[in-house]
Amino acid sequence: MTSFPWRAGTATGVGSYPGEDPAEALRIVLGELPELPHLPELPARGAGADLAGRTAGLLVEMPVHLEPSGWRFSDRPGRDTQRSRDHLARDLDVLEEVAGGHDGPFKIQVCGPWTLAASIELRHGDRALKDPGAVRDLTASLAEGVAGHVADVRRRLPAAQIVLQLDEPGLPAALAGTVPTASGFSRLRAIEAPVAEDALRTVIDAADAYPVVHCCARNVPYDLLRGAGAKALSVDLRLVPRRDDDAVGEAIDAGIALFLGAVPATDAALPSLKETAEPVRELWRRFGFPAQRLAEQVVITPACGMAGASPRHVRAALKRCRDTARMLHEAAL
C-alpha cells in the first residue's frame, strides 16, 4: 500500500477564505484541520492576493502589472508585483509565528502553469496561453519560483512535510480549446495533452514537495495529471461522473490519493453527517476497493475555495469535513 504523509481519516481545505486577517484565518485552519492544515489565501485583500496575482509574484524575472482587463506582463517590477510579494511575505511571517512548530504535513497552494497562462496577458494584450514560447518561459519561471517558495516555507516550518497543491481549474478549458481570446470574440487553439503534461511535470519536478493537483472543473484529465507526477488529485465530488470511473479507478489502484470536495464551499444548509459521507462511500463502492483504503487514500475537503463564504459557514464546513473523515475512518476499523 502506498504511504501517504497524512494519517487515515484526514480532512483539509482547498485554499481561499473570507476576510483579510491572515493570523485569524490560519488559527481557524489549525484548529479545525489539525491533521493537514494549509496556508489560507485571502483574496478579499485585493489585487495581488487573488490566485493569479499571488502566484505571479513568485515568477522569476517575469514581472506583472494590473490592467483593467487583468494581469499583464511588464518590462520591470512595479507596485503591483511588489504588492503581490508583500501579501505573501506577510502570510509567511504569520505562518512562522503561529505554526512554526508544526510537525506534520502542511499544504501550500499555487496556481498551475496552464491556469496562470490563461490569466496573464502578454504585453500587447493577448493571453499568454496563445503563445507557446511565452508558456514555456512562464513554466520555467514558475518552476523556479515555486521551488524557492517551497524552500522558504520549509525554513519556516522545519519539522513539517510540505504538500504542494497546484491549482488548475483552467486546464480542462485549455485542453478543449474553449478559453476565450482577450477580445472574447473567438477561442484559443486547444493545447495538446502531451504539452500540457510536460509543463505540469516541469513545475512538479522542480518543487521538493508532495504534489497535489486541484481541478474543480468538469472533465478533469485524470490520466494526464497522473502522468505529470501528481500523487494526489483534488476534485469536486459532485463533478465526478460515471464516465470517468475507469480513469478514477485506475488512479486509485495506482495509489493516487483523492482529495474529495464533499462539503458545500459557500453558505448552505449542511446535510447530516451521514448524508455528507454517503456520496464518498458510494463512489468508493463503485470501484470495489477495501473500505480501509478509503480512509487512508481519501482526504475530505470543501467543494472548492471558500472566499465567498461567511466566517460562520467556514467553521461549520471545516468541522463537517473533519467529522466526515473521522467517521469514514472509524467505520473502516
Do 185 and 288 belong to one domain?
no
Q: How far apart are CA 278 and CA 190, in angstroms?
A: 37
Output the nine-digit C-alpha cell for 79.
507596485
Backbone region of residue 290 per phi and psi (left: phi > 0; alpha: psi in -120 to 50; beta: other values): beta
Tell me, what DSSP letter sits at residue 307? T
Do 133 and 269 belong to one domain?
no
- Length, in residues, of the chain: 333
Residue at which a domain ends, from 147, 173, 208: 208
Question: Does position 21 have pLDDT exceeding 90, yes or no?
Answer: yes
Do 252 and 198 belong to one domain?
no
Q: Is residue 215 part of a domain?
A: no
Q: How far apart are CA 144 and CA 124, in angstroms?
A: 25
Count other Cβ atoms within 10 Å, centred on residue 131.
15
pLDDT at 332: 76
Confidence band of 333 (pLDDT split at 50, 70, 90) = low
Q: Is residue 217 part of a domain?
A: no
Do 59 and 130 belong to one domain?
yes
Question: Does position 45 have pLDDT exceeding 60, yes or no?
Answer: yes
Q: Is residue 136 part of a domain?
A: yes
Do 82 and 194 belong to one domain?
yes
Output the nine-digit C-alpha cell for 280.
464518498
pLDDT at 319: 97
Output the nine-digit C-alpha cell for 310.
461567511
Tens-place pLDDT, residues 266-313 = 999 999 999 999 999 999 999 899 888 999 999 999 999 999 999 999
pTM higher than the cut 0.85: yes
pLDDT at 3: 87
Confidence band of 209 (pLDDT split at 50, 70, 90) = very high
Q: How far apart are CA 24 and CA 40, in angstroms?
A: 10
Q: Is residue 17 part of a domain?
A: yes
Q: DSSP of 211-278, one letter per residue?
A: EEEE--SSS--HHHHHHTT-SEEEEEGGG--GGGHHHHHHHHHTT-EEEEEEE-SSS-PPPPHHHHHH
Specify whether the CB–CB gap between 32 and 315 falls below 8 A.
yes
Q: What SS3 state is found at 256?
A: coil
Tens-place pLDDT, residues 123-152 = 988 999 999 999 999 999 999 999 999 999
Do 82 and 155 belong to one domain?
yes
Beta-bridge mates of residue 164: 108, 211
Do 144 and 175 belong to one domain?
yes
Do 153 and 241 belong to one domain?
no
Do 1 and 127 belong to one domain?
no
Q: DSSP of 103-139, one letter per residue?
A: -SEEEEEEE-HHHHHTTEE-TTSSBGGG-HHHHHHHH
Residue at which a domain ends, from 174, 208, 242: 208
Q: Is residue 108 part of a domain?
A: no
Count: domains in the chain: 2
Residue at which a domain ends, from 175, 208, 241: 208
Q: What SS3 state is found at 141?
A: helix
Q: How far apart are CA 232 and CA 212, in angstroms?
A: 5
Report the amino acid identity of residue 263. V
User: Where in the sequence is the domain holding 87, given as residue range(s)?
Assistant: 46-102+117-208
Max CA distance (Å), the chain? 59
Task: List CB contacts of 51: < 8 A, sequence separation 6 or more.
Answer: 15, 16, 41, 43, 111, 115, 119, 167
Q: Which helix (H) or strand (E) holds 263?
A: strand 257-263
Do 24 and 60 belong to one domain?
no
Task: List CB contacts of 93: < 8 A, sequence separation 6 or more.
Answer: none
Count other Cβ atoms within 10 Å, centred on residue 177.
11
Do 151 and 18 belong to one domain?
no
Closest listed residue to residue 157, CA positions, set 249, 91, 234: 91
pLDDT at 241: 86
Q: Is residue 219 part of a domain?
A: no
Q: What SS3 state is found at 70?
A: strand
Tens-place pLDDT, residues 167-188 = 999 999 999 999 998 777 899 9
Instruction: Work out the mean pLDDT of the chain and round it to a whole number.
Output: 95
Q: Is residue 74 part of a domain?
A: yes
Closest listed residue to residue 293, CA positions, set 321, 252, 323: 252
Tens-place pLDDT, residues 220-263 = 999 999 999 999 999 999 998 889 999 999 999 999 999 999 99
Question: Does position 1 have pLDDT exceeding 80, yes or no?
Answer: no
For the chain, give the percent of residues with pLDDT over 70.
99
Q: Is residue 107 part of a domain?
A: no
Question: Does position 192 have pLDDT exceeding 70, yes or no?
Answer: yes
Count other Cβ atoms within 10 Å, centred on residue 79.
12
C-alpha to C-alpha distances, 268 to 43, 238, 239, nearest whole angstrom: 21, 15, 18
Do 37 and 59 belong to one domain?
no
C-alpha to C-alpha distances, 99 to 50, 120, 157, 265, 282, nearest whole angstrom: 23, 33, 7, 25, 36
